[in-house]
Amino acid sequence: MLKAHLRDALATLGRLWRDKINTLLIAAVIGITLALPAGLHVLVQNLSAVSYSWEGSLHASLFLKDSVNEARGRQLAQELGRRAGKTQYISREQSLAEFRALSGFGEALDLLADNPLPAVIVVTPKVQQTPQQVEQWLQELGQLPEVELAKMDQKWLQRLHAILDIVQRSVLLVAALLGVAVIVTVGNTIRLDIENRRDEIVVMKLIGAPDGFIRRPFLYTGFWYGLAGGAIAWIFVQAALLAIALPARRLAGLYDSSFTLSGLSFGASLLVLGGGLLLGVAGSAWTVSRHLTRIEPA
């Protein structure tokens, strides 16, 4: 049985190779169709990576209670630094000096008997956390006995993740619709192949060839079309990334960022190739099951 499958697979590949121009055109159509959802996946992947580049842009401010002295405040900052990755302790005197410089109320502040501003610990969260994890993390910080209030401006982060969620769902919808398009494309190609080989199929049925024997070459035709289309889609996506990698790096440099575009991961690459293969076989099986039963010896 294995030898029969190997023979049909190689025979089908040889027949497609002899008609390589037509085969390449069909595989290119499939590849272009698959490249769109694969490219959108890469886009979402890179946007997600940008959203996780929080260093210096997303941080929590922990306002300490007046009863916490400077020594304990600095010790707490060090403890949080080991857990959060980066902290900065701002004493009450530093807070007052900053406020005096930025507010323009220097003379009014001189009239105050005591410093009304608390000490603050600025904490930068670890990267690659979801908004839910960040919110839970902020609540845990706010429950520390030394902390009077914990605040973080994360509205922009929530909006960004909401947009990314919409884009991800849109990618799945586009992938499903284009998957149907691949099945139809392969199915129509196999249907024409069946019609061109009608007489051969009739002869095989006359001599008693089983349906599996007749069906197998057409299934392998869809297999090779899908595999070639997946490979072309992968090449298109990687070529597009190479074309825009340098401009993207320059843009990131203008914002003092080391961000670089990432391409299809190994798993995503296998998914593109495997998806093309499965869609090719599905389109072939769908057409063969519909049309082979209609061809009977007179």
Taking only the tens place, the pLDDT of each residue in 135-183 is 777 788 778 888 888 887 667 667 777 887 888 888 889 889 999 999 9
Radius of gyration of the chain (CA): 31
Cβ–Cβ under 8 Å, residues 92 and 117: yes
What pLDDT is attached to residue 224? 93
Backbone angles phi, psi at 86, to 5 degrees: -155, 130
d(C-alpha 92, C-alpha 116), whole Å: 8
Domain 60-152 fold:
Alpha-Beta Plaits (3.30.70)
What are the start-end ranges of the E strands in the chain? Answer: 60-64, 86-90, 120-124, 147-152
25-29, 206-210, 245-249, range with the lowest pLDDT: 206-210
Q: Which residue has the higher pLDDT, 21 or 293?
A: 21
Distances (CA, A) of 245 to 56, 120, 172, 270: 24, 41, 25, 22
* Half-sphere exposure for 84 (CA within 13 Å, toward CB): 27
pLDDT, tens only, 232-266: 999 999 999 888 888 888 877 776 667 778 888 88
Asked whether the predicted pLDDT for residue 111 surpasses 60, the reply is no
What pLDDT is attached to residue 236? 93
Cβ–Cβ under 8 Å, residues 36 and 178: yes
Strand partners for 124: 86
- Confidence at 127, pLDDT banded by 50, 70, 90: low
Which of 145, 122, 137, 142 lies closest to 68 in space, CA to CA? 145
Mean pLDDT for all residues in the chain: 80
**Residue 59 neighbours by CB under 8 Å, 6+ apart:** 122, 123, 124, 125, 152
Q: Which residue has the tokens 């139809």?
A: 184
d(C-alpha 165, C-alpha 151), whole Å: 25
Cβ–Cβ under 8 Å, residues 118 and 84: no
This prediction's pTM: 0.68
What pLDDT is attached to residue 130? 63
Which of 83, 79, 85 lies closest to 54 in space, CA to CA? 85
How is the chain split into domains, by residue range?
2-52+159-294, 60-152
What pLDDT is attached to residue 55? 45
Asked whether the predicted pLDDT for residue 65 surpasses 70, the reply is yes
Helix (H) or strand (E) holding 246: helix 211-254
Asked whether the predicted pLDDT for residue 43 surpasses 80, the reply is yes
Q: Which residue has the tokens 């869809």?
A: 222
What pLDDT is attached to residue 249? 81
**Residue 202 neighbours by CB under 8 Å, 6+ apart:** 295, 296, 297, 298
Q: Which residue has the higher pLDDT, 219 or 112?
A: 219
Beta pairing, strands 147-152 & 86-90: unpaired
